[in-house]
């Protein structure tokens, strides 16, 4: 592990309280526009065509109970940001589904959303990124009809964000530090990955 990466991981716990107190500004950087492999393009296209995420299926009662414990715990933690119960639960159900679909941990995705948009559906950054996961408008042009307003649709935004992060993680050979930097347009610098790692700790459910 490089010295830079060690410093990022060491900084993460200390940043936990700081991240929660940050003003609700959108953090997104400049994700790079690049050619997409067919599987990524298909996954993103499906999000535009889908009205709502399928209900999760569980292989066992134990798995279902673990999901319900996660949903209850995260809903309580999100209450101060989203007081409306149905809206909060719909967001968390969708975030869980899209995280698992992309092979990501939900706590990582929630940490990223916290840093990127402070859980604001209609957040827009200085560079024009949109929504919960601060997706750049060019992704809507590459996939779909090019209408950036679609990126404010909850499932579309979460699907795009999760698939894009998975795409970057694969490109970086599983290196989450570098993948997060690429997502933010700051690859190799510790500030953004450190902030996400710190926020992630707030969403971990034992």
CATH of the domain at 57: 1.10.530
Per cent of the chain over pLDDT 70 is: 72
User: Measuring CA to CA, which residue among 122, 104, 156, 103 is closest to residue 24?
Assistant: 122
State the average pLDDT over residues 81-87: 93
Low-confidence winner among 5-14, 16-25, 44-53, 128-137 (lowest mean pLDDT): 16-25
Answer yes or no: is pLDDT of 144 > 90.
Answer: no
Q: What confidence category does residue 4 fall into, taking pLDDT thresholds of 50, 70 and 90?
A: very low
137 found inside a domain = yes
**Rounded Cα gap, residues 168 and 103, in angstroms:** 12
Question: For the CA atoms of 144, 157, 108, 64, what is the dihedral angle to 10 degrees?
Answer: -100
Number of domains in the chain: 1
State the residue range of the domain holding 70.
3-201
Q: Report pLDDT for 10.
A: 46
pLDDT at 32: 62
Give the per-residue pLDDT at 204.
Answer: 97
**206 found inside a domain:** no
pLDDT digits 0-9 by tens, 115-131: 999 999 999 998 899 99
Answer whether residue 133 shows pLDDT above 80: yes
Mean pLDDT for the chain?
82
What's the confidence (pLDDT) of residue 56? 82
- Highest-scoring range by mean pLDDT, 14-23, 55-64, 155-164, 192-201: 192-201
Confirm if 99 and 159 have CB atoms less than 8 A apart: no
- What is the rounded CA–CA span in Å between residue 29 and residue 13? 23
pLDDT band at 173 (very low <50, low <70, confident <90, very high): very high
Kindly give the residue spans of alpha helices, DSSP state H, lying in the chain.
3-21, 38-49, 61-78, 85-101, 106-117, 138-142, 154-171, 176-184, 191-201
149 in a structural domain = yes
Residue 91 reports pLDDT greater than 80 = yes
Lowest-confidence pick of 21-30, 70-79, 105-114, 144-153: 21-30
């Amino acid at each position: 592990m490089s010295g830079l990466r060690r410093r990022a991981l060491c900084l993460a716990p200390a940043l936990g309280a700081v991240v929660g107190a940050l003003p609700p500004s959108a953090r997104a950087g400049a994700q790079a526009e690049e050619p997409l492999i067919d599987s990524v393009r298909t996954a993103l296209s499906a999000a535009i065509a889908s009205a709502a995420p399928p209900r999760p299926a569980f292989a066992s009662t134990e798995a279902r109970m673990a999901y319900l414990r996660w949903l209850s715990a995260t809903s309580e933690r999100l209450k101060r940001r989203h007081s409306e119960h149905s809206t909060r639960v719909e967001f968390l159900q969708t975030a869980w589904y899209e995280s698992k679909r992309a092979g990501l941990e939900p706590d990582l995705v929630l940490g990223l959303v916290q840093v990127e948009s402070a859980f604001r559906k209609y957040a827009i950054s200085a560079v024009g990124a949109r929504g919960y996961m601060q997706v750049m408008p060019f992704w809507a042009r590459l996939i779909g009809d090019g209408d950036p307003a679609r990126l404010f649709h909850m499932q579309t935004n979460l699907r795009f964000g999760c698939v894009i992060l998975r795409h970057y993680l694969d490109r970086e050979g599983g290196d989450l530090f570098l993948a997060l930097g690429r997502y933010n347009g700051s690859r190799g610098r510790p500030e953004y990955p450190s902030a996400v790692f710190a926020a992630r700790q707030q969403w971990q459910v034992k």
